[in-house]
A and B are shown apart, each in its own frame.
Chain A
Amino acid sequence: MTLAAATNEHLASISNTLIYSSMAVYTLAFFAYIAEWLFGSRSKVGRTAAALTVDSAGSADSAAQKASGPAVTVKRAGGTAVLERPKVVVRSTSGARDVPDGPGAHGGDAQGDLYGRIAVSLTALAFVVELCGVVARAASVERAPWGNMYEFNITFSTVAVGVYLGLLALKKNVRWLGLFLITSVLLDLGLAVTVLYTASDQLVPALHSYWLYIHVSTAIFCGAVFYVGAVATVLYLFKDSYEHKLQTGGKPGGFATSVLERLPASASLDKFAYRVNAAVFPLWTFTIIAGAIWAGDAWGRYWNWDPKETWSFITWVAYAGYLHARATAGWKGRKAAYLAMLAFGCWLFNYYGVNIFVSGKHSYAGV
């Protein structure tokens, strides 16, 4: 009998320390985001309200006028010959509310903005620390850190924050996601270190396969991106009903106004959520196929209707339904958003529910 490689206890404890440290830094980031929102609430934004009031007060074609007004004007921006180009006038889909995006959590408040920047920096720091924790964990077990739910959780939150920071680095307008994301990252990590913790360990033979790297890494990545999409969808639902209320002459509460005014317009949130979900859907398809190929090697049949497989399939069909809904009259907007929530619910259940409540071929050591 050959000796199995002993796990490196030392590295494992370093990893644990790093994960706890990252939680501490995330907590600081969390407070900084809170501060950003608090300071931001001092400024009265009211852009949505203004746009919608003009809309409902003016005649029906005021939106069209607004849009077509400048279009007939010949405009050229820039002073130099190289940059000179005709200005493109963009018209939003008619029927949609012509609401500008909110300024973000800081609401234009300088101090709020400062805290927001601090929060992002802290998030980046926590991300690096957590990433090191994940890498140390991987090194301690000499394999990919995806052997059990604890490892899955820490990797998952790292990737979700990575996606967020990546979008920020690409200069996408996503800072508003920060507080919501970090809150759930803290929850995720809290769950990981308390309930799900498993001492670092080797893998059972069924997990010895390079498909582990392919299948599980893409699954984690998809989950993280779907999660970002789901947060945007929830915010869309809130913002949309807020806009709807304003449009129909309702008076939303002060807190709702303060928070929702600062978020992007519902149309932007919706579009963002769609993009995120649609962009990752082919990868999710690939994840399932990679899983099937692996199952073909490990269990003898590429599709077994094992609970995990079944729920991946359900999740996939639900997201396909969402993409269809976006292209189906009468299903766009809120209904499609509910479908997106449902689809993400399926993903969550597939991860937590199936691992915990249903036993199948996917159950390995330590949940």
Chain B
Amino acid sequence: MSKTTTDKAPGPDTASASASASTEAEDQDLGAAGSQLSTAPRDEIASVPGLGVIGWARWFWRQLTSMRVALLLLLLLSLAAIPGSLIPQSGNDAMKVDAFRKVHTTLAPVYDKLGLFHVYSSVWFSAIYILLFVSLIGCIIPRTWQFVGQLRGRPPGAPGRLNRLPAHTTWRTDAAPEEVREAALALLKKRRFRAHVAGDAVAAEKGYLREVGNLVFHVSLIVLLVAFAWGQMYKSDGTKLMVEGDGFSNALPMYDDFKSGSMFQNDDLVPYSFDLKDFRATYEINGPNRGTARTFTARIRYSEGAYGKQKSTTIKVNEPLKIGDAKVYLVSHGYAPVITVRDGKGTVVFHDAVPLLPLDGNITSNGVVKVMDGYRNPEGHKEQLGFQAFFVPTFNPKAGTMLSQFPALVNPLLAVNAYHGDLGVDTGSQNVYQLDKTHMKAYKDAKGQLLKKLLRPGDTLKLPNGAGSITFEKDIKEWAGFEMVQEPGSAWALGGALAAIFGLACSLFIQRRRVWVRALPGPDGVTVVEMAGLGRSESAKVPEELGDLAAILYEQAPGAPDAEDDTPETHVVPEGAEK
């Protein structure tokens, strides 16, 4: 027997039986008609399998595709999602994970083993949702099949005793049974029920969209998941720090840092290029939230494709640049003071904007100026220079600290220490924001102390013994950090999500219900009309609708005097209602 409800074997406690009667006798009354109002799988406890491997496999499949297991898997999924929200995740914040590892030296290896630093790509999390989705597919296919069967068939005929149904009404009429049935059929059809005459009764059903909605919803979940997985496999994600005036074109070597999914290929990168014209930030200038950022705007010129036309636009925090599947986000910003370094003869050996990394909300920043080549020391030897730079956009001498007091350029100040020697650039990759001092010697001042000076824009620090100078130019540039993301399949994910909402709304707000109208000659020859309604769940709407339908039908088949004289309400013939 299939796992889904069939009309051959109505049983107690089917998933859809909430509206049907529970005792055996009543079940027989309602029979097929009462138990088939949804395609929800039956939830009997499958008997212990009998026959070998196939028996077990089948048993396992039935378990997996039952409502009960779907429910348990859902609960398990939500449970499994919890640790990832409480433990730092490497995909989200690798630095936090590192910090956690340092603090919890015993716990971290255990977490590592359990995959708790990347819960959402861990084996056990995947296992749960894959099982859930197998269950889902195993659930959808037979249900769709069964639903198609229901659509191709006709609404089931009337149960034996209509008065057992949740909503019921009856009256006696002088109209002939066939007339009543015809009128009922016409009425129900007009009300967009699927209706037909089956034996002595009209059987009608409406609200199939509920089942459609439910199936659409569950199918969209699959679409959503597949789109998400697809996006994960083909995504790429890189960052680029750009000083005002810099350009970028979308090719791997241009990135500062680049990650991609397992299936990504380099020529998947969407071709485009752009220049950062300028970056502007505004901040709250007074009140308790002084210094809080208000707006960030990057003005750019970009062109699509290799030789596209140049266009101007802006990128803001919530407004990425979108080119095909690619999006360019503004993610960070900071200052890039323009620095000039001269050798002892006054020749410029370095002149550039040097991006510095912010350390706090007021953009206290630090970084390094590296003079790689072109510099010769007073003895005429080739040497490299390195400067440690510490920068504050707003220095306030009264604050008692070197830290910046405001994020905008109100009173900028640059502190530098100078070193000479070998920067060690040749020995493998090197962080551009750090100075490797192993082969560097610090310049000392006249007193033998570390040479350092606070520079205001335009100031110059002279290196001792005519070794040259470093100038903090008046022009201070800003830089903006961009994240370039490509995640194919997001349109599918969105489509799936919207279809899911639509399906859900249909499934939750539409009632599937049946109406039967039976008209039979009574013992005294007067026609007895019986109407009954059945919804998927107990709802006030079903009796209401039945009442409306009955009222209309009653006009066409008006009441006849009651057979028993003891009926309290004697019949009043409605005016103009006689035939």
Contact with B along A316-333 (1 / 0, CB 8 A): 011011011101111110
Q: Does A238 contact B (CB under 8 A)?
A: no
A residues less than 8 Å from B376 (CB atoms): none
| Residue contact B74 to A317, C-beta cutoff 8 Å | yes
Query: Which of the residues B91, B167, B320 comes within 8 Å of A89, measured between beta carbons?
Result: B167
Bound-complex Cα distance A87 to B559 (A)? 12
User: Which A residues touch B18, using CB under 8 A?
Assistant: 93, 332
Chain A positions within 8 Å of B318 at CB level: 205-206, 208-209, 211, 294, 297-298
Asked if A205 contacts B317 (CB within 8 A), the reply is yes
Question: What is the CB-to-nearest-CB distance from A69 to chain B, in angstroms, rounded to a whole number?
Answer: 10
B289 at the interface (CB under 8 A from A): yes
Is the pair B501, A206 in contact by a Cβ cutoff of 8 Å?
no
Interface string of B496-537 (1 = CB under 8 A from A): 011011001100110000000000000000000001000000
Pick the contact of B68: A4, A87, A297, A330 (CB < 8 A): A330
Docked-complex contact A94 and B23, CB < 8 angstroms: yes
- Decide: A74 and B547 in contact? CB cutoff 8 A: no
Cβ of A351 within 8 Å of any chain B Cβ, yes or no, is no
- Per a CB cutoff under 8 Å, which of A75, A93, A209 touches B19? A93
Question: Are B289 and A289 interface neighbours, CB within 8 A?
Answer: no
Assembly CA distance A299 to B91 (angstroms): 14
A56 to B18: give the CA distance in the assembly, Å: 22
Of the listed stretches A45-53, A151-159, A221-229, A275-283, chain B binds A275-283
List A contacts of B280 (CB < 8 A): 1
Asked whether any CB of chain A lies closer than 8 Å to the CB of B314, the reply is: no
A24 is an interface residue with CB less than 8 A from chain B: no
B165 is an interface residue with CB less than 8 A from chain A: yes
C-alpha gap A66/B4 in the complex (Å): 34
Q: Among residues 123 to 167 in chain B, which have CB atoms less than 8 Å away from a CB atom of chain A?
A: 163-167
Whether B284 and A85, one on each chain, are in contact in the complex, defined by CB atoms closer than 8 angstroms, is no
- Closest chain A residue, CB of each to CB of B503: A282
**Which of chain B's residues have a CB closer than 8 A to the CB of A298?**
317-318
Evaluate whether A279 and B508 lie within 8 angstroms (CB atoms) in the complex, with A199-B288, A205-B294 already known: yes
Closest Cβ neighbor of A207 among chain B residues: B318
Q: Which residue of A lies closest to B280 (CB)?
A: A1
- Measured between alpha carbons, how far is A179 from B387 in the docked complex, in Å? 69
CA distance A330 to B289 in the complex (A): 55
Contact of A85 with B81 in the complex, beta carbons under 8 Å: no
Question: Which listed residue, A89, A94, A299, A306, touches B168 by the CB 8 Å rule?
Answer: A89
CB distance from B115 to the nearest CB of A (A): 14
- B163 near A71: Cβ-Cβ < 8 Å: yes
Least CB separation from B16: chain A residue: A327
Confirm or deny: B446 has a beta carbon within 8 angstroms of a beta carbon on chain A: no
User: By the criterion CB–CB under 8 Å, are B543 and A327 in contact?
Assistant: no
Tell whether A79 is near chain B: CB-to-CB under 8 Å.
Answer: yes
Provide the residues of chain B in CB contact with A93, threshold 8 Å: 18-19, 21-22, 166, 538
Query: B537-579 toward A: CB 8 Å interface, digit per residue (1/0)?
Result: 0100001001100110010000100100001010110111100
**B449-471 interface code vs A (CB 8 A; 1 in, 0 out):** 00000000000000000000000
Which of B194-202, B265-273, B482-490 has 4 or more CB atoms under 8 Å from chain A?
A: B482-490
Q: How large is the interface on A (under 10, 10 to 19, 20 to 34, 35 or more residues)?
A: 35 or more
Chain A residues, Cβ within 8 Å of B483 = 300
Closest chain A residue to B23 by CB distance?
A94
A57 proximal to B (CB < 8 A)? no
> Which of B82-90, B101-109, B249-257, B342-350 has 4 or more CB atoms under 8 Å from chain A?
B82-90
Q: Does the CB pair B317–A328 fall under 8 Å?
A: no
A81 touches B575 (CB 8 A): yes
Whole-angstrom distance between the Cβ of A6 and the nearest chain B Cβ: 7
Tally of B interface residues using CB under 8 Å: 101
Residue in A74, A79, A292, A365 whose CB lies within 8 Å of B172: A74
Q: Is the CB of A204 within 8 A of B293?
A: yes
Residues of B within 8 A of A76 (CB): 171, 559, 569, 571-572
Could you give, for residues 48-66 of chain A, a 1 whenever the CB lies within 8 Å of some chain B CB and a 0 otherwise? 0000000000000000000
Q: Does A354 contact B (CB under 8 A)?
A: yes
B85 touches A358 (CB 8 A): yes
Please indicate the chain B residues that have their CB under 8 angstroms from the CB of A330 in the complex: 13, 43, 68
Minimum distance in angstroms from A173 CB to a CB of chain B: 11
Confirm or deny: A21 has a beta carbon within 8 angstroms of a beta carbon on chain B: no
B82 contacts across to A, CB distance below 8 A: 310, 314
Residues of A within 8 Å of B493, CB to CB, are 302
Q: Does B316 contact A201, Cβ atoms closer than 8 Å?
A: no
Q: How far is the CA of A85 from the CA of B551 in the complex (A)?
A: 5
Shortest beta-carbon distance, B395 to chain A, in Å? 17
Q: Are B497 and A81 in contact (CB under 8 A)?
A: no
The 8 Å CB contact of B285, one of A3, A74, A208, is A3
Contacting residues, chain A, for B286 (C-beta < 8 A): 6
B292 within 8 A of A: yes
Residues of A within 8 Å of B119, CB to CB, are: 305
If A4-B284, A68-B163, A205-B294 touch, does A95 touch B22 (CB 8 Å cutoff)? yes
A282→B508 contact, CB < 8 A: yes
The docked-state distance in angstroms from the alpha carbon of A358 to that of B163 is 58
User: Known contacts A297-B319, A324-B70, A328-B67; is A281 also within 8 Å of B163 by CB?
Assistant: no
A327 touching B170 by the CB < 8 A rule?
Answer: no
Quick check: A201 and B92 within 8 Å, CB to CB?
Answer: no
B21-68 contacts to A, CB under 8 A, are: 21-23, 26, 38, 40, 43-44, 67-68
Known: A74-B172, A86-B171. A293 touches B92 (CB 8 A): no
Give 12 pairs: A residue, B residue, CB < 8 Å, sorted on A. A1-B280, A3-B282, A81-B577, A84-B554, A88-B543, A88-B547, A205-B294, A208-B295, A208-B318, A305-B120, A310-B84, A324-B74
The 5 closest A-B pairs by CB, nearest first: A85-B551, A81-B574, A95-B22, A317-B78, A310-B85
Q: A72-B170, A88-B550, A91-B166 are in contact. List 13 more A-B contacts (CB 8 A).
A: A72-B163, A74-B562, A76-B559, A85-B550, A94-B23, A304-B92, A305-B91, A310-B82, A311-B85, A314-B82, A329-B13, A329-B14, A329-B15
